[in-house]
Structure 1
Amino acid sequence: MHPDWRWAMRYGSRQFWLVGILIWVGCSPGPVTTKNKAPIPVEVSPVIVREATDYAEFTGRTIAQETVEVRARISGYLQEVVFQEGQKVKEGDLLYKIDQRPYQVALEQAQSRVVEAESQIQSAISQKLQRAAEEERRQAELILAQKSYDRTKSLADQGASTANARDTAEANLSTAKSGLTAAQADMEFSLSMIATAEASANTARSAVDSAKLNLEYTELRAPISGRIGKTSVTRGNLIQSGDLGSGPVLTTIVSINPIYVEFDVDEGTVLKVHHLIRDGKADRAVAGSAPVSFGLADEQGFPHEGLMTFAENRLSATTGTLRVRGTFDTGDNEILPGLFARVRVPIGKPHQVALISDRAVISDLGEKIVYVVNDKHEVVPRPVKLGQMHFGLRAVEEGLKSGDRVIVNGVQRVAPGAVVEEKEVAMPGDKAAATSPVPAVTPATATPAPAKAETPAQGDAQPAPPQK
């Protein structure tokens, strides 16, 4: 190799390494500044500790307490439909009128039969009185004949009377006995005639009662109060009655107030409540005493409050759920049957719980984190386990304690370890504080302050975020 080439390669290699060093030096970061940054302004709120009750939420449907299918009890031509479809009706209101004339005639005929039967009774009674008098006369004749026979026989035995006179007296006695027997038979016949006439009268009276009922049934009246549905028959049509409810349904009526809400409780919640009762953290529900609330699809929260009045005695093998019913007095706020309902039921005794605003919660790879400011004004990340909503705030089951201060405004501007300049504010979203002040734990004390029992609040319908 030529010496010039060897020099060029040696010199070029040195230049390459020199350029590399210069590039590395030029791209390396400059010296780290040691000047402290200004504290980041944030708003913090102390963790609130209050007494609250955990709830379980379900979906259900509103159901009428009473539902009646209106059917005709007698057949006939419909004269009039008295109501307007869809209107409210009261128990006893007239709904339909069936032609009454055939049933009015039947009633009059039955009443005439009663009069005839009562006349027969009076005739039988008159005959009885006559035959009673005849029986008394026959009784008197028998007594007289008996005395005459006794006297004649005594005289004949003494030889003072003839045998012919004795025989005549004996014949008269026998005739008197036969007459009395016949009179007594006539009396028994009269009594049987009276009984027959009275039975006929009773049958006629029953026929009158039946005819009156049939005449009454020509006016179909509302058996319950509520809202009536569509009529299936119009004026002039023949209505056929049916035995045991087999006749056609003319219309339906559903009650309005109170109303039922039925919902299904899943097996997991049933077991959870069972364990809470076993551990003394919940009371055993008694029908008519356990509270329950619900809200409709277009309502916020659970504004309607009532009581649990029924729970099935077993879980469905098909769905694995327990059917439960709540009863609600809706007052003037009419709620139709069949509406979708969101139901909330308390599942434990009131207990102390830490509460924060949802603003303070951030997500990091599926983990829920809250930024806490320590005594050095530094941001400390705190993993938390979230629970349900209470008083418009989120319950924290694990990760926070009384006295912690959490960042509620400015979370996006800080990072762990950052120094902040905090401004203490009331916990955002605290509905209890907005309506009536509820004492809460502050950083100066670690003892939970008493609070009024939680009541369902608007906006508390959101379930706790799923935990990872």
Structure 2
Amino acid sequence: MTVVQARTEAVPISFTYTGTIISQQDAALQARVTGEVTDRPFEPGSHVKKGQLLFRIDKRPFEVALAQAKAQEGQAKAQLQFAQAEVVRTDTLADKGYASEQRLQQLQSNAASAAAQVQGAEAAIARQSLNLDYAEVNAPFDGRASLSIINPGDLVIENQTQLVTVVQVDPIDVQMALSSEDSEALREAMQTGEVTVEVLDDAGKPVRTAKIYQLDNRFDPRTARRLVRALMQNEDERFLPGQFVRARVTLGREDKLLVPTIALSARLAQQIVYAVDDQGIVRQKPVTTGDSYGENTSILAGLKPGERIVTDHLEDMRQDMKVEVRSPQKEASNGMAQDGGGSRDDR
């Protein structure tokens, strides 16, 4: 029979959540003018650069409308010039008594109306110039474009047709919804030390690190959770927006009493260990267990540091049984090192 001593060791203070990958910049590009797509000079699903042309919509209707607006502007300016000249001439005549005040007021009104027509024509020019700009759809930032079903020849409708989405993929965020307890622990840890976030693979092994940089300003009253975001480098684009991941948040280290997990047995829904005293007598001890750390489990109550715990032949152990104790050659082989980190898993 082999025994090990229950020992107090420093272990990570951590908790694990299911997180969601969020892009810092995520844009859904819609058509801002109605017209036929004449060109799509990018490959859907590819990387795009800020300012890169993605779609070109037929400009000819807007060029015609712009020319018409400029012509209307010229006509309006000519009418304004004539109306202002009439006001000047009539004002001189009115001073000499050769024109009525009513006539002068009428001409002043005509000049004001002509000025408004000039402003309307200028607004029409600005609008058609804007439509010409909108006829070319460019990438708003560096990122990856989505697949798109819009092809040259398709008719797109202003503010209705979605052309493509563009998302930033490097760096990228991991978003988690923390419980109030863990949120408070995180707040305290961020004031006194460094907090680390590790994204885990399916086997629970860390594959990427992230750094918390945003905390929401409230708890969601429906879930009593607070959103936090951690920034993560993603050059290989292993993680994409909308993906679910496991993330472990470590707040520091604390001392805990550990025993090998294999030393635990269950009796009537109660976890127990078999302790051996100095006379070699087996004592059955109910214990309260905490988090797991690699091959070890923390003991919250029921044991004291230094007590010897049976780690094999547990099915043969009985209360008050006399046994011969055999210590392992190296206690470290019992897995007392706990670098694997424990976690309060998925609140």
Q: CA deviation at 1:429?
A: 3.4
Q: 1:206-265: per-residue Cα shift (whole Å, max 9, x none)?
A: 001110111111012234554321112211222232xxx4x23222334434435355x8
Q: 1:341 aligns with which of 245, 252, 273?
A: 245
1:313 aligns to what?
220
Q: CA deviation at 1:79?
A: 0.9
1:81 aligns to what?
40
Q: How does 1:66-77 map to 2 (within 5 A)?
A: 67-77=26-36
1:249 aligns to what?
162
* Matched-pair contact (CA < 8 Å) for 1:96–1:221: yes
1:236 aligns to what?
153
User: Greater share of strand residues, 1 or 2?
Assistant: 2
Q: CA deviation at 1:402?
A: 2.0
Listed as ranges, the gaps of 5+ residues in structure 2 are: none
* Matched-pair contact (CA < 8 Å) for 2:258–2:336: no
Listed as ranges, the gaps of 5+ residues in structure 1 are: 1-39, 139-177, 316-320, 433-456
* Matched-pair contact (CA < 8 Å) for 1:62–1:262: no
* Matched-pair contact (CA < 8 Å) for 2:39–2:56: yes
Q: CA deviation at 1:66?
A: 5.4
Q: 1:262-300: per-residue Cα shift (whole Å, max 9, x none)?
A: 55x8xxx77xx4xx99xxxx66969x9997956455352
Matched, 1:383 2:296: no
Q: CA deviation at 1:396?
A: 0.8
Q: Distance in 2 between matches of 1:211 and 1:463?
A: 58
Q: Distance in 2 between matches of 1:45 and 1:427?
A: 13
Report the residue type matching 2:89 in the other structure. Answer: Q
Matched, 1:370 2:329: no
State the SS of the aligned residue for 1:329: strand
Q: 1:8-34: per-residue Cα shift (whole Å, max 9, x none)?
A: xxxxxxxxxxxxxxxxxxxxxxxxxxx
Matched, 1:425 2:331: yes
Matched, 1:300 2:204: yes
* Matched-pair contact (CA < 8 Å) for 1:51–1:351: yes
Matched, 1:406 2:309: yes
Q: Count how many residue pairs are aligned between Structure 1 and Structure 2.
A: 333
Report the residue type matching 2:165 in the other structure. Answer: T
1:452 aligns to what?
none
State the SS of the aligned residue for 1:426: helix
Matched, 1:217 2:131: no
1:327 aligns to what?
229
- Work out the percentage of aligned pairs sharing the same amino acid: 25
Q: 1:65-114: per-residue Cα shift (whole Å, max 9, x none)?
A: 55443221211111111221112334543211001122112112212222
Could you tell me the TM-score, scaled by structure 1's length?
Answer: 0.58
1:27 aligns to what?
none
Report the residue type matching 1:99 in the other structure. Answer: D
Report the residue type matching 1:75 in the other structure. Answer: T
Report the residue type matching 2:127 in the other structure. Answer: S
Could you tell me the TM-score, scaled by structure 2's length?
Answer: 0.76
User: Greater share of helix residues, 1 or 2?
Assistant: 1
Q: Distance in 2 between matches of 1:459 and 1:109?
A: 72
Q: Distance in 2 between matches of 1:52 and 1:75?
A: 59
Q: How does 1:457-468 map to 2 (within 5 A)?
A: 458=340, 460=342
Report the residue type matching 1:205 in the other structure. Answer: E
Q: CA deviation at 1:407?
A: 4.8
Matched, 1:105 2:64: yes
